[in-house]
A and B are shown apart, each in its own frame.
Chain A
Amino acid sequence: MKAWLRWLILALFAIYFFGPLLSMLDFSTKKNGGGRTGAAWKALVTDEQVRHAIVQSLLLCVATVVLMLVLLVPTMVWVRLRLPRLRRLIEFLCLLPLTIPALVIVVGINGVYAWVNYFFGYSPLVLTFAYVVLVLPYSYRALDASLSSIDVTTLAEAARSLGAGWFTVIVRVVAPNLGAGILSAAFISVALVLGEFTFASLLNYQTLPVVIDLFGKSDSHVSVAASLGTIVFASLLLLLLSFAGRRSRGPKGV
Chain B
Amino acid sequence: MSTSGKGPVGVEFVDLHRHFGTVRGLDGLSLAIEPGELVCLLGPSGCGKTTALRIVAGLDHPTSGEVLVGGKDVTGVPTNKRDMGMVFQAYSLFPHLSAADNVAFGLKLRGLGARERRKRAYEMLELVGLSVHADRYPHQLSGGQQQRVALARALAFQPSVLLLDEPLSALDAKVRVQLRDEIRRVQLEVGTTTLFVTHDQEEALAISDRVGVMNAGRLEQLAAPAELYSSPASQFVAEFVGLTNRVPAQARDGRAIVLGDQEVPALAGSVAGDGLALIRPEAIAVEPDEQGTATVTQLSFRGPITQVHCELGGSELLVQMASAEAQQLTLGGRVRLVIAPAPVLVVPA
Q: For the complex, give the distance between the alpha carbons of A226 and B89 in Å.
A: 54
Binary contact track A238-254/B, C-beta < 8 Å → 1, others 0: 00000000000000011
B91 within 8 A of A: yes
Count residues of B near A (Cβ-Cβ below 8 Å).
2
Secondary structure type dominating chain A contacts: loop
CB-nearest residue of chain B to A253 = B91
Binary contact track B75-113/A, C-beta < 8 Å → 1, others 0: 000000000000001010000000000000000000000
3 contacts across the A-B interface (CB closer than 8 A): A253-B89, A253-B91, A254-B89
Count residues of A near B (Cβ-Cβ below 8 Å).
2
Q: Which residues of A contact B89 (CB under 8 A)?
A: 253-254
A residues 76-98 in Cβ contact with B at 8 Å: none
Q: For the complex, give the distance between the alpha carbons of A253 and B91 in Å.
A: 8
Chain A interface (Cβ < 8 Å from any Cβ of B): 253-254
Q: For the complex, give the distance between the alpha carbons of A253 and B92 in Å.
A: 9
**Closest-CB distance, B222 to chain A (whole angstroms):** 25
Q: Which residues of A contact B91 (CB under 8 A)?
A: 253
CB-nearest residue of chain B to A254 = B89
Q: Which residues of B contact A253 (CB under 8 A)?
A: 89, 91
**Closest-CB distance, B90 to chain A (whole angstroms):** 8
**Closest-CB distance, B62 to chain A (whole angstroms):** 20
Q: For the complex, give the distance between the alpha carbons of A254 and B91 in Å.
A: 11
Q: For the complex, give the distance between the alpha carbons of A253 and B169 in Å.
A: 13
**Closest-CB distance, B164 to chain A (whole angstroms):** 14
Binary contact track B117-149/A, C-beta < 8 Å → 1, others 0: 000000000000000000000000000000000
**Closest-CB distance, B24 to chain A (whole angstroms):** 20
Q: For the complex, give the distance between the alpha carbons of A120 and B89 in Å.
A: 62
**Closest-CB distance, A250 to chain B (whole angstroms):** 13
Binary contact track B159-174/A, C-beta < 8 Å → 1, others 0: 0000000000000000
**Closest-CB distance, A243 to chain B (whole angstroms):** 27
Q: For the complex, give the distance between the alpha carbons of A254 and B89 in Å.
A: 8
**Closest-CB distance, B47 to chain A (whole angstroms):** 15
CB-nearest residue of chain A to B169 = A254
B residues 201-251 in Cβ contact with A at 8 Å: none
**Closest-CB distance, A144 to chain B (whole angstroms):** 22
Q: For the complex, give the distance between the alpha carbons of A253 and B170 in Å.
A: 11
Q: For the complex, give the distance between the alpha carbons of A253 and B166 in Å.
A: 13
**Closest-CB distance, A251 to chain B (whole angstroms):** 12
Q: For the complex, give the distance between the alpha carbons of A253 and B90 in Å.
A: 8
CB-nearest residue of chain A to B89 = A254
Among all A-B residue pairs, the 3 with the closest Cβ atoms = A254-B89, A253-B91, A253-B89
Q: For the complex, give the distance between the alpha carbons of A254 and B88 in Å.
A: 10
**Closest-CB distance, A104 to chain B (whole angstroms):** 37
**Closest-CB distance, A114 to chain B (whole angstroms):** 52
Q: For the complex, give the distance between the alpha carbons of A38 and B89 in Å.
A: 61
Q: For the complex, give the distance between the alpha carbons of A197 and B89 in Å.
A: 52
Q: For the complex, give the distance between the alpha carbons of A253 and B89 in Å.
A: 9
**Closest-CB distance, B89 to chain A (whole angstroms):** 6
Q: For the complex, give the distance between the alpha carbons of A25 and B89 in Å.
A: 53
Q: For the complex, give the distance between the alpha carbons of A66 and B89 in Å.
A: 46
Q: Which residues of B contact A254 (CB under 8 A)?
A: 89
Q: For the complex, give the distance between the alpha carbons of A254 and B92 in Å.
A: 11
Q: For the complex, give the distance between the alpha carbons of A94 and B89 in Å.
A: 39
**Closest-CB distance, B333 to chain A (whole angstroms):** 46
Q: For the complex, give the distance between the alpha carbons of A253 and B165 in Å.
A: 13
Q: For the complex, give the distance between the alpha carbons of A249 and B65 in Å.
A: 37
Q: For the complex, give the distance between the alpha carbons of A158 and B268 in Å.
A: 61
CB-nearest residue of chain A to B170 = A254
